[in-house]
Amino acid sequence: MKHRLIILILPLIALLLMGNTASAEASASVQDEGTVKNRPNDDLSQTDPNSPEYLKERMNYLGLKIPKAVQNSFKKLNKLHPPSVLLDDDSFDWRENGGVTPVKDQGWCGSCWDFAGTGAFESAVLIADGFVWDLSEQQVLSCNDDGAGCDGGWTASAYTVFAGYGAVEESCMPYQSDDTVPCTQEDCTPVAKLVDVINIPNNVNFIKNALLNGPLSTTYTVYNGFHYHCYYHDDTDPTNHAVVIVGWDDNLCNGGGWIVKNSWGSYWGDGGYFYIGYNSSGIGQYTQLPIYENTLLPELSFNTDSLTFNIEPGDTVVDNIEIGNVGDGEMYYRLEASNPSDQDEFGYYWRDTSTPDGPDYNWVDISSTGEELDFSGSPDNGNSGPLDLGFDFNFYGETYDSINVCTNGWASFTESNSTQSNNSPIPNAATPNTLLAPFFTDLTLYYGGDIYFYTNGADSAVISWVEVHDKIWDELYSFQIILIAPKTIIFQYDLMGLNALDSASIGIENADGSIGLQIAYNEPYTYGYEAVKFSLGSVVDWLTVDNPSGTVDPAGFLNLTVKCDAGEHPGGTYHGLLTLSTNDPYYLVTEIPVVMHIGGTSVDGQENTPDYFYLRQNQPNPFNPSTVINYGLPKAGEVRLDIYNIMGQRVETLVNTDQRPGLHSVVWNGSDYSNGIYFYKLRFRGKTITKRMTLLK
């Protein structure tokens, strides 16, 4: 079976950006760009291009503007689980592989978005045809229909021009650093046509794998003090500059960095290039790969959406996955076993009140029995601790006997001084670590509310935030952490305000921020009267792959052997993933769900014939493009399982037949459906259970 997933087919985005051009009127020669306007301050004409004064003037012409729809699209895309890196080399540079055209200068016009898109497309044409075209940025500046100009724009405006009319040469429409120049592209012959643009998630591994196909347009934030060699800044501001990533070097910048082509002329930086650490200043946000009509791309095919093993205790079973390359370029691949998407690498997973095996909501009132914590020194951003638990608690393989509590909705076993209020994705190397985050956001006790701590000194403790205020909307939030030795963690939510629900992080994280389990980041999760339980389960050690990595030539196919080993695991149902990473830009990562059914007693102690009718949350979720739906039947009977879109329309029926009692698994492949929220409804003996899932391509 062959699958083809298009993450993005060239969006025609109306930016509606109105503005005026730069005010300067004279001309100055800029390498490879014909005539541009003089700098507004003539004294800068002799200024060192790497000086603070030069940077200050350049910052007046940072013209990147990301439309809200694009921001939302990438926000969803960035939730995809990262792939494995396909090329083990510690450095890769398209300058050394004949894939980069000369550096140019945008002049004193906020057209970085234009130069980034044009530069990346020039590289795509060069790699495919072996010819260096000097394409016209003025064509984009004058002929786009989105209102993008010297006051700003987004790279999609460049790509739309190249996909519509086609790109023309610089010699036919010389760059003038002026968006009032008339569009004369009809007098020019197009020399290259763009056919697609693919959005790349903001992750180092995703970007590295996509780079194997060619340089990428991307964005970052220029701050005061920015310099060309391994600049570092924690990103907190909106991106303001667009550039082209042409390679990477893991030996750069004390942890690796990107090799980046800028549009400030060859006299700036290192011949027009700069080097910046991974994730510094937001580098890698809004990354795109342009596809030229002659681009030689790999194209993945594979023969299965999921694997199910029925196995007896102690036995081993094997199966095969066939992958092929039906494209025109060499395909790198890596197939690895991993934990399900709701379980982290250490083995922690979570369940909430809405799942059959989740915890019941049962608020524990400690306002009269617990200690009211004192944050009088800083009721806005305070940290109280270390607080003695009175027992040992195991967390990510370490043992702790005390905990610290912050007013901003988090607790930590080690962070006694941090009062961080700006929440971040989980995991994150920045503090706080060893993190318990029931509702990590900017909260305050300045307007009232209390935080209590209680321990029985033997095996359990409770931390409660009661009617604390969020700092912006001044609404009330009540939630708590319950610790039960040796390793059980429960978050409970009482009455929660509404307006700050999409500005918090919820989850747990280990000591160095390398492993964590995120439930929500800046999106509503709970409205209250709900509980979440974190438990430690076994990692996926029963699934292995032979020949897990390599290359596949065009028209080539490989059979990869997958082995399932029940070992000493108790009977029951186990879930895992096979993560298939490739440089097919439409299939950078694919998750293949794997289920192992071992005869005998199930993982949670229930028999394989359950005592009740239940429907599990699909795994993985979000998914792309396949997911597994598991359910249990206590008796034989007629079963119907339907998929509905968000409009309530039934789009597919997966099951409509009599089934035996026991555990059942069904795979749904969403390849033919668009991104979004879907509902799956299970009917059995007059009862109905409905759950929600998210398809994210």
Residue positions annotated with a catalytic role: 112, 241, 262
* Residue closest to 413 by CA, chosen among 439, 397, 434, 427: 434
The Cα-based distances of 446 to 8, 471, 479, 501 in angstroms read: 46, 9, 18, 20
Determine if the peptide bond prior to 622 is cis (ω within 30°).
yes
* Residue closest to 697 by CA, chosen among 589, 578, 581: 589
| CB contact at 8 A, 292 and 74 | no
* DSSP-assigned letters across all residues of 97-110: TT--PPP-B--SSS
E-strand spans in 23-104? Answer: 28-29, 35-36, 91-93
Helices (H) and strands (E) in the chain, counts: 6, 40
DSSP, collapsed to helix, strand or coil, labels residue 627 as: strand
* Residue closest to 24 by CA, chosen among 65, 62, 63, 57: 57
DSSP, collapsed to helix, strand or coil, labels residue 93 as: strand
| CB contact at 8 A, 507 and 517 | yes
CA–CA separation, 201 and 82 (whole Å): 9
Burial 50-65 (b: 16+ CB within 10 A, else e): eeeebbebbeebbbbb
CA–CA separation, 503 and 471 (whole Å): 11
How many CB atoms are closer than 10 A to CB 136?
27
What is the phi-psi region of residue 177: left when phi exceeds 0, alpha when psi lies from -120 to 50, beta otherwise? left
The Cα-based distances of 606 to 187, 351, 602, 614 in angstroms read: 75, 17, 5, 13
Half-sphere exposure of 56 (CA within 13 A, CB side): 7
How many CB atoms are closer than 10 A to CB 336?
16
